[in-house]
Chain A
Amino acid sequence: MSIMVHEGQEGRSGGALFWIALRAGVVFIILCGIVYPLVSTGLAQLLFPHQANGSLLRDKDGTLIGSELIGQSFTDPSYFHGRVSSIGYKAEASGSNNYAPSNPDMIARTQASIVQWQQENPDVLIEKLPIALITNSGSGLDPHITPQSALVQISRISKLTGLSEAELASLVNEYTENRDLGVFGEKRVNVLKLNLALKEKLGI
């Protein structure tokens, strides 16, 4: 160990140390608080402009319709529906109700979701209804549903749009994303992308 205490230095006053601390504080505010984020922004915009600006999605006419990362609210029964969001997919401020597993309001909300599901999808048994579809995501902005959650909606959408169930199933298949690198996370379907494809298929 090369460090030794030099008596003279050790005797430096607290004031001198504080002066160093003050200068160090200012230097690191500039370095970490201003230079670092601005340089990062510059590099990011230069190297990956699409990702750095929020992975925005446009339809075939080039109109901006959202970000592929941020879920949207779908209530029209002829679209695939996303998960429950207590904030209605309002992305200016994320959040959820943070219901505890023992919270009676959550049980009531889930029961209401099941009743609504039975009304909209009378020919799908509730044993087939995946839990992910009727639970609130953490962010309230979850852009995905599980592949199973998409497949159980097919018969409803087929009736309302006239597209065959086989056609819709192959559409869901096409838009099912695999686990990352084949292992990480879950298989999933991006609801906005799927509905965009559905809309284009219907020619509206």
Chain B
Amino acid sequence: MDILQIVIVIGVLMLIAKPLGDYLYHVFSNEPNLTDRVFRWVEKPIFALIGVKQRTGMSWKRYAFSFIAINIVLVAISYAVLRLQSGLPLNPSDIGNMEPTLVMNTIISFITNTNLQHYSGETGLTYFSQMAVIMMMMFASAATGFSVAVAFVRGITSKGKSLGNFFEDFVKAHTRIFLPLSTIITLVLVALQVPQTLDLTLTITTLQGSTQQIAIGPVASLESIKHLGTNGGGFFGVNSAHPFENPNPLTNVIEILSMWALPASLPFMYGRFAKSRKQGWVIFSAMMILFLVFLTVAYTAEKNGNPALNDLGIDASQGSMEGKEVRFGMAQSVLFTAVTTAATTGTVNNMHDTLTPLGGLVPLAEMMLNVVFGGKGVGLMNMLMYAILAVFICGLMVGRTPEFLGRKIEPREMKLIAVAILAHPFIILAPTAAAFLIDLGKGSISNSGFHGITQVLYEYTSSAANNGSGFEGLADNTPFWNISTGLVMFFGRYISMIAMLAVVGSLVRKQWVPETIGTFRTDNALFTFLLIGTVILIGALTFLPVVVLGPIAEHLTIR
């Protein structure tokens, strides 16, 4: 039954990914189509309000400037809201203002689509902050990532010079994708028992006669965009493990598909833009093959359970149940974990800190690679970056000038790609090492031994990959962690995005090279495996040593 339910979910994903990719293409191709007729009447007043008259194409620099500008505006307003939240409306539980380093961490976390949370939603945020800051940024960061990815795809596939208009992409991502889908999913989730109310925390007398306070709130409207936007920040501290956020296996499946469908459909959108559906299939297959390998490792490890508990003589046939919920069991917990770190959502329905060493290695490795589907847009961009690298390496081996989609790959692009690829391990490994050198870092570790190394490593990997899940035992709400992870999230998001826009800005200026018999093909099965090989090679070279120190050493000690 476990295998069957996993296969069904993956099957449904395959069914929706391609048509959704076609839809995304129609939204962003800027050629007249049916979606215009449905949505133009909403978009017209929005464009008028924000002052966009002519939606003219932008160079990569203007595109980058525009997305950074809107991010700055949202950050500034949100900072003010969180610092002043106790005096703002909708604060029935009388929650205080947030402390400055925690505000900094929270704001960066949400604008970068990371959603690492050093606060606990029940006690740290008012309903107004949950709505006007958290939910709003979940939309904005997803739309930003999507827009930049679309600009990147336009750049490498079109013969034109422009990347499109940022504000047009940003508005359409809201009006044609995230707002309508979120509203529908919200209502489906409410029908399946996720609460949506502005009432106070409930106080009740339990069956045994004691008092229980139950935090509640506008949960469903956050839940839908949290997954659709691959954000991952929970309304409650324990995120989607909380029965109000994820009350039954069916909501679990809906949440998995919500966070997975858009990232999985982007390769197909790319195939449409490239006028070669095979290009899309190559990218999608590479992602899916890597995903299935990771899923299998995690499932086997969790099902085999924790040897230390299995030895106690109890009935441990169910597998490792510490930190998991009964309604989800093994299959729905492991699938959720594999998808949330693949799609860099970071929502969790079980506690990753409690996973068996090899089970915990899987989410860690998926975030280190950061290309297995990947978050809103960024995963596709990273995968294409590896595709260019693969072409470059193969070109060197056969002694030809490498080309990708009809454009020559030259030193300028390779330098920028090297910066983007090296920045990721650097902002993970350097702060991890630094945290072990000082007590401010070491002191927060809650599980001693090798697992402690993994706790710190996971925190920075999650920040750099803009994932946001955590080994939550780590006592991370301190100025040290708030500031250091804040910086890592910031660099993790903006370095690669700007570098990738610069790559494409340089590519669009080049002459189109016609395809000949000697052109290295990037649309066949061979290239899929070269791509997977490149990803694994780079990932293993950079991360294997630290992985051996953490999860693998822990596995060997409790085996």
Interface check A160, CB cutoff 8 A: no
Instruction: Give the interface segment out of B53-61, B276-284, B401-409, B533-541.
Output: B53-61
| In the complex, A175 has a CB within 8 A of chain B | no
Query: Separation in Å of the B456 CB from the closest CB of chain A?
Result: 13
**Interface size band for A:** 35 or more
Cβ–Cβ contact B50 & A23, under 8 A: yes
Closest to B29 in A: A1
Known: A4-B160, A138-B349. A69 touches B193 (CB 8 A): yes
Q: Are A52 and B208 in contact (CB under 8 A)?
A: no
Q: Does B399 contact A (CB under 8 A)?
A: no
Which of B30, B158, B349, B451 interacts with A103 by CB under 8 Å?
A: B451
How far, in angstroms, from A91 to B170 measured CA to CA in the complex?
A: 38
A137 touching B326, Cβ below 8 Å: yes
- The answer to whether B49 and A27 touch across the interface, beta carbons within 8 angstroms, is yes
B36 at the interface (CB under 8 A from A): no
Q: In the complex, which residues 29-59 of chain B have their Cβ closer than 8 Å to any Cβ of chain A? A: 29-31, 46, 49-52, 54-59
Is B558 engaged at the interface, CB distance under 8 Å to the other chain? yes
Evaluate contact between A1 and B50: CB separation under 8 angstroms. no
Q: Is the CB of A5 within 8 A of B49?
A: no
Q: How far is the CA of A23 from the CA of B133 in the complex (A)?
A: 16
- Which chain B residue lies CB-closest to A138? B241
Report the minimum CB–CB distance from B358 to chain A (whole Å).
10
Interface residue count for B (Cβ, 8 Å)?
142
**Which B residues touch A95, using CB under 8 A?**
120, 237-238
Given contacts A4-B160, A95-B120, are A72 and B197 in contact (CB under 8 A)?
Answer: no
List, in ascending order, chain A residues with CB within 8 A of B196's CB.
Answer: 40-41, 44-45, 52
Residue B478 interfacial (CB < 8 Å): no
Pairwise interchain contact A131-B318, C-beta atoms closer than 8 A: yes
- Asked if A25 meets B324 with Cβ closer than 8 Å, knowing A102-B449, A130-B318, A184-B332, the reply is no
A202 adjacent to chain B (CB < 8 Å):
no
Q: For B15, list chain A residues within 8 Å (CB).
A: none
CB atoms of B174 and A52 under 8 A apart: no
Q: Of B135, B216, B236, which one neighbours A32 at CB under 8 angstroms?
A: B135
B187 partner, pick from A10, A44, A64, A92, beta carbons under 8 A: A44
Question: Would you give the 0/1 interface string for B124-158, flagging 1 where the beta carbon is closer than 8 Å to chain A?
Answer: 00000001110110111000000000000010001
How long is the Cα–Cα vector from A1 to B163 in the complex, in angstroms?
10
**Cα(A83)–Cα(B449), bound, Å:** 27
Tell which of B74, B197, B315 touches A131, judged by Cβ atoms closer than 8 Å. B315
Contact of B74 with A29 in the complex, beta carbons under 8 Å: yes
Partner of B323, one of A33, A47, A98: A98
B195–chain A nearest beta-carbon distance, Å: 5
Which of A51, A66, A131 is the one whose CB lies under 8 Å from B194?
A51
Q: Known contacts A135-B321, A139-B242: does B122 contact A92 (CB below 8 Å)? A: yes
* Cβ < 8 Å to B, chain A residues 114-130: 114, 126-130
Residues facing A in B153-208 (CB within 8 A) are 154, 158-162, 164-165, 167, 170-171, 174, 179, 182-183, 186-187, 190-199, 201-202, 204-208
Residues of chain B contacted by A100 (CB below 8 angstroms):
353-354, 447, 451, 455, 473, 554
Let me know if B314 and A65 touch, CB within 8 A.
no
Report which of A3, A21, A127, A188 forms a contact with B315, defined as CB distance below 8 A: A127
A3-B162 CB under 8 A given contacts A10-B62, A69-B243 = yes
Asked if A98 and B351 make an inter-chain contact with CB atoms under 8 angstroms apart, the answer reads: yes
Q: Is A155 an interface residue (CB 8 A)?
A: no
Tell me the minimal C-beta distance from A56 to chain B in angstroms.
Answer: 8
Nearest-CB distance from A203 to chain B (Å)? Answer: 15
Q: Is A154 an interface residue (CB 8 A)?
A: no
Q: Are the C-beta atoms of A36 and B215 separated by less than 8 Å? A: no
Given contacts A41-B197, A101-B357, contact A186 B329 (CB under 8 A): yes
For chain A, residues 33 to 50, give those with C-beta under 8 angstroms from any C-beta of chain B: 33-34, 36-41, 43-45, 47-48
Partner of A73, one of B46, B206, B244: B206
Distance in angstroms between the alpha carbons of A95 and B443 in the assembled complex: 21
Contacts known (A98-B446, A146-B326, A186-B328); A41 close to B221, Cβ less than 8 A: yes
- Minimum C-beta distance from B401 to chain A (A): 26
Contact digits for A5-17, partner B, Cβ 8 Å, 1 yes 0 no: 1100110001001
Interface residues of B in 318-356 (CB under 8 A from A): 318-329, 331-332, 348-351, 353-356
Tell me if B290 is interfacial: C-beta within 8 Å of chain A: no
CA distance A6 to B242 in the complex (A): 52
CB < 8 Å neighbour of A143 from B243, B316, B557:
B243
Q: A21-B72, A41-B221 are in contact. List 6 more A-B contacts (CB 8 A).
A: A20-B50, A27-B50, A28-B136, A70-B243, A138-B323, A184-B252
